[in-house]
Amino acid sequence: MSVHEQFAEDLALYALGCLEGDEKLSLEKHLQECASCRRELEELRGSAALLALTASGPRPPARSRTRLVDAIAKEPATMPSRVRTPWWGVLGWVTAAALVIAVTLVWTQNTRLKSNAQQLALLSNQQQSELESARRVVDTLTAQDAMRVSVLPVDMKIPPPEGKAIYSRERNGLIFMASHLQPLPAQKAYELWLIPVQGAPIPAGVFKPDAHGSATVVNPPLPPGVEAKAFAITIEPEQGSKTPTMPIVMVGAGG
């Protein structure tokens, strides 16, 4: 038996990662000195890789395949020290891990896209609401039936407080702008009232002037189709009142 034949089986086991102990050390020492066996080992390792893919890949050389199969068959099943997990078994775990990572990335991306879509929908709804509010302002200002009323104080002051109400019965819209309003006591606010042709005054918005005495009320909730006779302003608690508290500080009637 030649030296190469002596190490043939060990080379096959070494290629499979199943050789240990003195046999492994002896073979590794031989490999350092024998180029022929080193080439044989590389061929066997390549064959081992091809064996893992024989269902779909190229077939390994017959001699190397035979040695590998014989080495696997001769490997003692009762020796724990020789038990090794073939690399193609590990490849299955790697593939599964890669699949889990890929699924996680897709799920994360879908979650991010869903969140972005929800944010875009929310922004779109907000813009639609703002657009509708702006449209109502324009509709009220340009309505053919718009009644423009100057609301002036009962007791004139210099400069006098002034207010202007623009009301459209058809559009159910009301825009009120005031200037030079007097500062209010603590926990008090101005309240605008729509005085209908028939019936009791209708609350039309609570407001406080800014540092310059200016204030606005835009499209307060009003019952539809009310015909207005006049507008008035009183001083009320901050939360507003259901009926005007006398005295009326500003009033104006439609022309």
pLDDT tens track for 63-103 = 555 655 565 555 554 444 444 545 445 455 556 556 666 66
Which pLDDT band holds residue 246 (cuts at 50, 70, 90)? very high
Amino acid 56: pLDDT: 43
| Position 26 pLDDT exceeds 90 | no
| Position 180 pLDDT exceeds 90 | yes
Distance (Å, whole) CA 89 – CA 12: 18
Q: How far is CA 162 from the centre of its chain?
A: 48
Amino acid 255: pLDDT: 63
Amino acid 199: pLDDT: 94
Tokens representing 165 are 């109400």
Residue type, 156: M
Which pLDDT band holds residue 13 (cuts at 50, 70, 90)? confident
Distance (Å, whole) CA 217 – CA 142: 17
Distance (Å, whole) CA 192 – CA 236: 10
Helix 3-15, helix 35-51: angle, nearest 10: 40
Per-residue pLDDT, averaged over 218-239, amounts to 96
With contact defined as beta carbons under 8 Å apart, do 213 and 116 qualify? no
- Residue 205, number of CB atoms within 10 A of its CB: 21
Q: How far is CA 65 from the centre of its chain?
A: 56
Mean pLDDT rounded to a whole number for the chain: 79
Q: What are phi and psi of 235, to 5 degrees?
A: -100, 125
Distance (Å, whole) CA 2 – CA 182: 117
Per-residue pLDDT, averaged over 167-194, amounts to 95
Amino acid 89: pLDDT: 53
More confident residue, 40 or 4: 40
Cα dihedral 117, 118, 119, 124 sign: positive
Residue type, 25: L
